[in-house]
Amino acid sequence: MRSQRLRRRLVRQLVAEDVLHEQPWVQAFATVPRHVFLPRFFVPAGGQWAAVDRSDPGWLERVYSRDVLVTQLDDDPSRWELARATGSVPGTPTSSSSMPAIMAIMLEELQVRDGDQVLEIGTGTGYNAGLLCHRCGSGSVSTVDIDPGLTAAARERLSTCGYAPTCATGDGALGFPTGILFDRVLCTASVSTIPLAWLAQTVPGGLVVTTLNRPLGGGLVRLIVGEDGTAEGRILPRDGRFMPLRAHRLPPHPAHLPEPSDVDWRPTGLSMSEILKPRRHFEFFASLELPDIHPVRIEPDGTFALSHPDGSWARTRRTDSGVEVAQGGPRALWDLAEQAHHRWDSLGRPDRSHFGLTVRGDEQTLWLDNPETGLRWPLGGT
């Protein structure tokens, strides 16, 4: 069958990308039919979103691509029908089937053992729950999503594939609705702080894997839960970004910034990409030293600026002689960024693998190298 050939191709790609290694997960990706969970979705269309379903040419190839596939806009399931009827629509993605690569990374980082009870936060399409069921057995997997429509559809699709995990509808930030204890908790959405309910539902020594929802410096974290509901672990070196849980969405940030005058610009040795791009290792440290800084996309050229809720801002531009910056507002954001870069350089340019996170109730602290003696920053910013 064509779907089987495409699944095998996807597995080869994930292995070649060095994100899929363990044979049980190789078998899961090779077996679980992703197309059952993605009968329809959205694709980008000139700044908006077009509706695609199984009747469209190339649908199956898209399903087994390495791309994230958006399945919902604006928390509104009717948006797909509208796009199908009238053409592409604007909207903000609120549910998706994640890139298979980041799914593979997170599943392997979960370090599942035979017999582990696993909780998935964020059922979505159900595909990731299907992978967990193939590896762990349906009786060992529970999954929860806040959207009852998503939960119902996922349950039906999972049943079609022969899987029957325990599916529940509820706020994933509150954990699972019943008092089950889990060995592993995997959240396929991002969080601004670690929900304490997850730690309360995880056995001591169990693992929690999730992603951090931050304007800068997001990415994967794995925590080991302690005896008293505390947790500690490391920021994982492989990057991954997810849509946030609804309860953890960041407030909208104004996109309008002042237009600098000619006299506002000065030379700088620091580029905007150094601050904003995760593959430039300064990005994570910059997020710690510059809390509450947001990247802002400037239209129509698509460049980015920095802004702060107090009205401060900074913009850069390239000239024949190099990079220039302009800034304004109550604080000089770019001066702070340059100071942070100098500090990062003096510390040996640590990448994200040098950082960790400690959770003790509402005190959630990021640290460099050592939780007791290293530099420390509050997870929630200032």
pLDDT at 254: 59
pLDDT at 88 over 70: yes
Question: Among residues of the chain, what percentage have pLDDT more than 70?
Answer: 95
Confidence of residue 325 (pLDDT cuts 50, 70, 90): very high
Question: Among residues of the chain, what percentage have pLDDT more than 90?
Answer: 71
For residue 319, tell me if it sits in a domain: yes
Mean pLDDT of 276-287: 90
pLDDT at 247: 64
Confidence of residue 83 (pLDDT cuts 50, 70, 90): very high
Q: Out of 153-162, 199-208, 254-263, which region has the weakest mean confidence (pLDDT)? A: 254-263
| 192 noted as active-site residue | no
pLDDT at 72 over 60: yes
For residue 291, tell me if it sits in a domain: yes
Mean pLDDT of 14-42: 96
Instruction: Find the catalytic residue in 95, 97, 98, 287.
Output: 98
Q: Out of 101-110, 113-122, 240-249, 330-339, which region has the weakest mean confidence (pLDDT)? A: 240-249
For residue 279, tell me if it sits in a domain: yes
The model's pLDDT over 229-243, given as tens digits with 9 standing for 90+, comes to 899 999 998 877 777
Confidence of residue 255 (pLDDT cuts 50, 70, 90): low
pLDDT at 26: 97
For residue 27, tell me if it sits in a domain: no
pLDDT at 382: 47
Total number of domains in the chain: 1
Query: What mean pLDDT value characterizes the chain?
Result: 91
For residue 24, tell me if it sits in a domain: no
Give the span between the Cα atoms of 284 and 372, in whole angstroms: 20
| Residue-range definition of the domain harbouring residue 310 | 262-346
CA 79 to chain centre: 23
Confidence of residue 253 (pLDDT cuts 50, 70, 90): low
For residue 308, tell me if it sits in a domain: yes
For residue 224, tell me if it sits in a domain: no
For residue 235, tell me if it sits in a domain: no
